[in-house]
Amino acid sequence: MVHEKWLEEMNSKKMSRRSFLGASGKTAFATAISFTIPYSIENKKADASFTFTENPFTLGVASGDPLPDGVVLWTRLAPNPLAEDGLGGMTNINIPVHWEVAEDESFKKIVRSGTEVAAPELAHSVHAEVHGLGAGREYYYRFKAGNKMSLIGRTKTAPEYGSHIKNLTFAFVSCQSWTGGRYAAYKNLAEENVDFVVHLGDYTYEKRDTETLADFRINHALYKTSPDLRAAHAKFPFIVTFDDHEIENNWAKDVSQSDREESNERERFLALRAASFQAYYEHLPLRVRSKPQNGQILLYRKFTYGDLIEFNVMDTRQYRDDQASEGFPGGPLAPEASDPARTMVGSEQAEWLLKSLSQSRARWNVLAQQTIMAQFDYDTGEGISVNHDQWDGYRADRDRILKFIEYRRPSNPVVISGDWHSSWVNDLKKDFNNPHSKTLATEFVGTSISSGCGWKDDVEAALSVNPHIKFFNGDYRGYVRCQVTPKSWQSDYRVVSSASNPDATVSTLASFIVKNGKPGALRIGGVDVSNIVANTMFSGKPSPVSVTLSNGTAKAVEVDVSINVPKNWKSERVTIVLEPSGSSTVEVMVIPPAQIPVTEKLSLEVNAGKKTQVFGASLDFEAVSVPSGDTLLLALDSGSATSALLPSFSRLSPEDIWVAAKGYGWIGTAPSARDRNKLDELQRDFTLSRNTPTILRLAVPSGVHRIYILTGDASYASGNTVIRSEGRLLAESGGEFNPGQFKWIPFELDGGMEGREIDLEITGALKDGYWRIAALVMLP
Ligand SMILES: [Fe+2]
């Protein structure tokens, strides 16, 4: 089965309850061992005792914390996931949940099974720790509660301790603000072939009103309404740790960000923290040892993959001293930031970490943690400006770790970080102020899944005074895929083409390699593709698509650029030779179909030969074509009263009320207009309204004429635009459109024998209720 298709196909299979019970009957022995229901719970015939009318597995399934002999399986019963009391539509009773682990996706070879109690105290979440599995193997699992069965998840155990591992692939992610963007990164990650995913925090973001346990539960449930997040969980085991936003921005130990000195503040914050920890545990595949106790949660822990790699998963929030200073993204370096008495990790965790590093026999030793460890000075002048929430604000702890690495020399230390919503590759230096000092370790900072990077310009402006930063990009959301062998570690910065488009495609922005024994990453040279521009094209006419190509290698490279087009399009192929480190903008011509307006998703194909990789953001782009205005009966570029017009087109702005001589215009309440200042004359602006309906009158000449209306929005997602006339539905765009996605909607108007005036009644639906018109044309 094609790897990426397996989950969908597997989960579309109808599975009868009978086969589930039949299968579990064969493993009665394993069931008995794992049967952990307390005696007080009524449990006559466990699986049949409760009838759900709705699917209780709305939040999906997950596995996590892989060890050589097993994983923890997670689910939560929530037939109504966003129920206001935070209980997911469940009542106040215990429900036995049966689980099964099989070697095959059809569950013919079930190897372990058991029952856990989903209790209201834990929001009916289930954390089933499975033991006795084979090391380094793939398994499938599912749950059953009452009369309902969950979808099937896939997981993989860690290899045997000390065993020789030739390669391992994993991804790390962080920062998935629900309002920041969509989860195209997860959608694409779910189609990768990785052994597991490490989540470095900001799994959820607090809202102004997240205060109670119910609030935190609802917030987690909201995030899990994303099918893409659920798909990633169902496909790979996750190793998770939190950062600040699971509770609130920049919290530290028992101190709220707001630093208010009111007497009840600490108490209030500890209650908030306890509620957040509880909900975090309830919604993630964490082992029972991480279950919060007395308002604390144990998250720092170790994962070993044979002799190849060891992960020290850290918690840099719960034990840290309060930030020495504020200022965003940086502020003048506070003297307290270097105070040796202050800590980022706490003494116990520090001891655990250094001990772990000194005892490790793995080739690569990872510190999986939250904030950027490398020094970064935001001040390009005399002063020093740092972010005190990151390791720059906790210099003593950073020095302790880096000194330990320098003197005890654990094998290949690599730090992976999140928090900062941008992609970085950093040298961790013995002396950050001296570019010639020794590089002790490598840091890879992954961009966010969805959260935005409003401080990109501040970072870019200061890169020149921070030469140990080898790479920075704040434009794209995504994840980092790491391919590790005994000889090398490769990090691929996988980014999606758009933060707001749930279907955005993924590409590799850049790749870096660390060689065994040589700290510091080297960029893998290739051809970088950027700035694809395709303006509105005229039907049947050669139209340019421009793209910038840069050669990141030390050799001249011949690059072949073409455009994949549908049958009725034509396109040319361009070959260009790029000098070493050379860059060039090339135009590739395409010819859209003649005479009719078309919207089409096209993609560039860039080939630099077998030895040279191609990097960059997505190669997909949206093409819009329209016949030249002088061949049309009516050619209207809709938008504001002053914005630029597509050549050969006339203006349709809110000011164009009906005038018979012009042959078009609004009747009654006119709409408003938006100019997104993005894309070309036709696509950048449009008229819109949600007054129902807005009337646009057209003078239609005799005979039947085809009309096309272009709808879409350069910057935001848009909804359905609906056209009616004389009480009849003429056309609608349907569905929701992604930002930058446009569609021509066609319909016919009959001018009769002598021509007549016809009123279009335009309404919006879906999304925000607005209709949008970027252009309107009438064919002869
Ligand atoms: Fe974040």
Q: Dump pLDDT digits (tens) for 487-532.
A: 999 999 999 998 888 999 999 999 999 999 999 999 999 999 999 9
Place of tokens 């495609």: 505
Query: What's the angle, vertex CA 153, arms to CA 151 and CA 158, rounded to 5?
Result: 165
Q: How confident is the model at residue 738 (pLDDT cuts 50, 70, 90)?
A: confident
Q: What's residue 259's pLDDT? A: 57
Distance 229 CA to ligand 1 centre (A): 16
Distance 204 CA to ligand 1 centre (A): 9
CA distance linking residue 276 with residue 292, whole number of Å: 10
Q: Is the pLDDT of residue 405 over 60?
A: yes
Distance 372 CA to ligand 1 centre (A): 12
Distance 553 CA to ligand 1 centre (A): 34
Task: Give strand pairing partners of 198.
Answer: 172, 239
Q: Are 639 and 684 in contact (CB under 8 A)?
A: yes
Locate all alpha helices (DSSP H) within 26-115, ordered by sequence: 28-34
Q: What whole-number percentage of the chain has pLDDT above 70?
A: 93
Distance 148 CA to ligand 1 centre (A): 36
What's the whole-number average pLDDT of the chain? Answer: 92
When pLDDT is averaged across residues 11-36 and rounded to a whole number, the result is 37
Distance 671 CA to ligand 1 centre (A): 39
Q: What is the pLDDT of residues 125-163, one digit of tens each?
A: 999 999 999 999 999 999 999 999 999 999 999 999 999
| Centroid of chain to Cα 120 | 31
Distance 245 CA to ligand 1 centre (A): 7
Q: What's residue 260's pLDDT? A: 54
Distance 422 CA to ligand 1 centre (A): 10
Distance 108 CA to ligand 1 centre (A): 42
Distance 417 CA to ligand 1 centre (A): 11
DSSP string, 186-212: HHHHTTS--SEEEE-S-SS---TT--S
Distance 772 CA to ligand 1 centre (A): 33
Distance 545 CA to ligand 1 centre (A): 36
Q: Is the pLDDT of residue 419 over 80?
A: yes
Q: What's residue 736's pLDDT? A: 84
β-pairing verdict for 168-173 and 153-156: unpaired
544: tokens are: 């340019």
Distance 577 CA to ligand 1 centre (A): 41
Distance 259 CA to ligand 1 centre (A): 20
Q: What's residue 536's pLDDT? A: 96
126: tokens are: 């289930």
Distance 300 CA to ligand 1 centre (A): 19
Buried residues in 264-292 as b, exposed as e (16+ CB within 10 A): eeeeebeebbbbbbbbbbbbbbbbeebeb
| Centroid of chain to Cα 597 | 34
Distance 593 CA to ligand 1 centre (A): 45
Q: What's residue 29's pLDDT? A: 34
Phi/psi region, residue 119 (left: phi>0; alpha: psi -120 to 50; beta: rest), is beta
Q: What's residue 767's pLDDT? A: 74
Distance 298 CA to ligand 1 centre (A): 21
Q: Is the pLDDT of residue 35 over 60?
A: no
Q: What's residue 261's pLDDT? A: 55
Helices then strands (H, E): number in the chain?
11, 47
Q: What's residue 44's pLDDT? A: 34
Q: Is the pLDDT of residue 19 over 80?
A: no
CA distance linking residue 454 with residue 460, whole number of Å: 12
DSSP string, 593-656: PSSS-EEEEEEEEEE--TTSEEEES--EEEEEEE--GGGSSEEEEES-SSS---TT-EEE-TT-
Distance 293 CA to ligand 1 centre (A): 26
Distance 411 CA to ligand 1 centre (A): 30
Distance 273 CA to ligand 1 centre (A): 17
When pLDDT is averaged across residues 627-643 and rounded to a whole number, the result is 95
When pLDDT is averaged across residues 11-19 and rounded to a whole number, the result is 40
Higher pLDDT, 235 or 36: 235
Distance 420 CA to ligand 1 centre (A): 6
Distance 579 CA to ligand 1 centre (A): 40
Distance 168 CA to ligand 1 centre (A): 27
Residues 6+ apart with CB under 8 A from 397: 342, 343, 344, 345, 350, 391
Q: What whole-number percentage of the chain has pLDDT above 90?
A: 87
383: tokens are: 């002063």
Distance 174 CA to ligand 1 centre (A): 7
What is the CB neighbour count within 10 angstroms for residue 608? 21
Distance 67 CA to ligand 1 centre (A): 28
Q: What's residue 14's pLDDT? A: 37
Distance 216 CA to ligand 1 centre (A): 17
Distance 175 CA to ligand 1 centre (A): 4
Q: What's residue 37's pLDDT? A: 37
Q: What is the pLDDT of residues 542-585, one digit of tens each?
A: 999 999 999 999 999 999 999 999 999 999 999 999 999 999 99
Amino acid type, 760:
L
CA distance linking residue 597 with residue 579, whole number of Å: 40
HSE, CB side, 13 Å, CA atoms: give it for residue 591.
11
Q: What's residue 264's pLDDT? A: 67
When pLDDT is averaged across residues 245-252 and rounded to a whole number, the result is 94
Distance 767 CA to ligand 1 centre (A): 26
| CB-count burial class (<10 Å; 0-12, 13-18, 19+) for 734 | middle
CA distance linking residue 515 with residue 405, whole number of Å: 17
Q: What's residue 766's pLDDT? A: 78
Distance 17 CA to ligand 1 centre (A): 42
Locate all alpha helices (DSSP H) within 422-559, ordered by sequence: 456-462
Q: Is the pLDDT of residue 1 over 70?
A: no
Distance 594 CA to ligand 1 centre (A): 48
Q: How confident is the model at residue 666 (pLDDT cuts 50, 70, 90)?
A: very high
User: Is the N-terminal amide bond of 566 cis, ω within 30° of 0?
Assistant: no
757: tokens are: 């005036």
Q: Is the pLDDT of residue 15 over 70?
A: no
Q: What's residue 678's pLDDT? A: 87
Task: Give strand pairing partners of 598.
Answer: 625
CA distance linking residue 268 with residue 6, whole number of Å: 47
Q: Is the pLDDT of residue 262 over 70?
A: no
When pLDDT is averaged across residues 230-243 and rounded to a whole number, the result is 98
Distance 423 CA to ligand 1 centre (A): 13
Domains of the chain in start order, with CATH, are 159-201+299-524 (3.60.21.70), 527-625 (2.60.40.10), 629-778 (2.60.120.430)
Task: Give strand pairing partners of 76.
Answer: 125
Distance 324 CA to ligand 1 centre (A): 20
Q: Are 748 and 699 in contact (CB under 8 A)?
A: no
Distance 524 CA to ligand 1 centre (A): 28
Q: How confident is the model at residue 768 (pLDDT cuts 50, 70, 90)?
A: confident
Inter-axis angle of helices 213-223 and 265-282, nearest 10: 40
Least confident interval from 37-46, 89-98, 355-364, 735-744: 37-46
Q: Is the pLDDT of residue 16 over 60?
A: no
Distance 740 CA to ligand 1 centre (A): 26
Distance 452 CA to ligand 1 centre (A): 8
Q: What's residue 190's pLDDT? A: 98
Q: What's residue 258's pLDDT? A: 67
Distance 419 CA to ligand 1 centre (A): 5
Distance 450 CA to ligand 1 centre (A): 9
Distance 374 CA to ligand 1 centre (A): 18
Residues 6+ apart with CB under 8 A from 613: 508, 511, 524, 526, 527
